[in-house]
Amino acid sequence: FAAEGPVFCSGHDLKELSSEDDVKHHSQVFELCAEVMTLIQKLPVPVIAKVNGLATAAGCQLVASCDIAVASEKSQFATPGVNIGLFCSTPAVALGRSLPRKVALEMLFTGEPLSAHEALMHGLVSKVVPEDKLEEETMKICQKICESSKSILALGKATFYRQITQDLDTAYKITTKVMVDNLTLRDGQEGIEAFVQKRKPVWSH
């Protein structure tokens, strides 16, 4: 995900949330947003946010929902809903799963933004780079990912999100079975054979 201009994403259009619209319309707006955010983690490919500018409210939620986020040094991240009387409760779902609780709550309670480097320090983004290097650094990550098997990436991503919410024993049971299943895949065997034969693998995708 990327954007043109000084704002990455400012979240919902507040004009859509006025009292002129009914509760049903408001429910549809937030349900659609939640569907988009959860779909990102269900997609079988890695999703990267390329952030150059301000990401606020649902825009900050979008960054937190992506698998990887690369930000320029000028980027900022905020959940300022509390300041206009609309607490960022849905963004809090993604923030609370990406940031330490006290950092997320300070953002939610104050609406004050995190700088790009603060976002990196707390784990909201993966990497911070100068603005003129943002495209290059993001594409480096994309190109590296694209060297791997699509089916193996899909399996790995789905398993990561499945196990991350489990207790330790359950997480290891899940991932142990997946490792065995991984070996039965064509690309699982191709990768091992290529490593042993000291050649580049030829993925089935």
Task: Quick: pLDDT tens for 127-161.
Answer: 999 999 999 999 999 999 999 999 999 999 999 99
Strand (E) positions, the chain? Answer: 7-9, 48-51, 54-56, 68-72, 76-78, 114-115, 127-129
Per-residue pLDDT at 98 exceeds 70: yes
Asked if residue 33 belongs to a domain, the reply is yes
Asked if residue 89 belongs to a domain, the reply is yes
Structure confidence at residue 20 (pLDDT): 67
Residue 39 and residue 97 share a domain: yes
Asked if residue 204 belongs to a domain, the reply is no
- Residue 8 backbone dihedrals phi, psi, to 5 degrees: -70, -55
Note whether 203 and 187 are within 8 A (CB). yes
Per-residue pLDDT at 79 exceeds 90: yes
Number of domains in the chain: 2
Note whether 37 and 61 are within 8 A (CB). yes
Encoded amino acid at 13, one letter: D
Q: Is 104 exposed, middle or buried (0-12, 13-18, 19+ CB in 10 A)?
A: buried
| Domain enclosing residue 190, as ranges | 149-197
Asked if residue 64 belongs to a domain, the reply is yes
Structure confidence at residue 29 (pLDDT): 83
Note whether 29 and 36 are within 8 A (CB). no
